[in-house]
Amino acid sequence: MTSEYLSIESELPQLRIKGVRNCITLDTLLGKITGKDMMRARKEKTSGLDMINPISFYSNECEKIKLNWFCYEFSIGIYDNMKNEIGSRLKREKISDKALADFSVYYSKEMKNIILQQLSGKIKNVCISYEPIESYFPHLDAGLINKMTDIISDSWDEMLSFCEICPNRCISEKDSYCTLFDDKFLFE
């Protein structure tokens, strides 16, 4: 029998099985993952849920409305898509995860007025602008700003497609109180 092995990038001990060298079973692997391993993995790749706090979208109880929840969800989409698609390039530009999260909150809040204009019929289509990116990160080149604009546009489209099936109705009931802001299980 040839020497077969499964490569595992961790500090877990290898389990020997007759006829197979350096192999570890899935049950053994799952049994050896500790909370520290999970935290280490989580630190390596943060998500919008880790970085963006819903408190950024309200300052008092009256502002816990569905439109603000929509903006919160949109900011998470912006963060995650930016991180996944151009995260390494943003790091080279010295944009930290915290700065990206703050920008995502900023951009989604900037969109709030545009959303309201579209809902009131003042504008027909939502336009994703490069200007908030350029003003927030003035040191970035035009190519990266264009890429970020494309990613925000994709995040917008994803958000709208999700809204079609979401029972929360954040846009059609934009001024209604949003109980999701009070759901502590979502944020622990």
pLDDT value at residue 186: 72
- Looking from the CA of 180 toward its CB, the CA atoms found within 13 Å total 20
- Please report, in tens digits, the pLDDT of each residue of the chain (188 residues total): 444 444 444 443 443 334 433 444 444 444 444 444 444 444 456 788 888 999 999 999 999 999 999 999 999 999 999 999 999 999 999 999 999 999 999 999 999 988 888 888 888 888 899 999 999 999 999 999 999 999 999 999 999 888 888 898 888 899 999 999 998 877 66
Residue 91 is inside which H or E element, if any? helix 66-92
Q: How many residues are present in the chain?
A: 188
pLDDT value at residue 44: 53
Residue whose tokens read 């439109």: 67
Find the angle CA(87)-CA(66)-CA(175) to the nearest 5 degrees: 140
Please report, for residues 31, 39, 58, 122, 135, the alpha-carbon distance to residue 67 in angstroms, rounded to integers and kept in the order given.
43, 33, 11, 18, 24
- Looking from the CA of 155 toward its CB, the CA atoms found within 13 Å total 28
What number of other Cβ atoms are within 10 A of residue 14's Cβ?
Answer: 13
pLDDT value at residue 67: 94
Contact at 8 Å (CB) between 137 and 95? Answer: yes
Please report, for residues 49, 74, 147, 155, the alpha-carbon distance to residue 187 in angstroms, rounded to integers and kept in the order given.
8, 17, 31, 22
Which of these, 28, 2, 83, 19, lies nearest to 10 by C-alpha position?
A: 28
Looking at the whole model, is its pTM more than 0.95? no
Distance between terminal CA atoms of the chain? 49
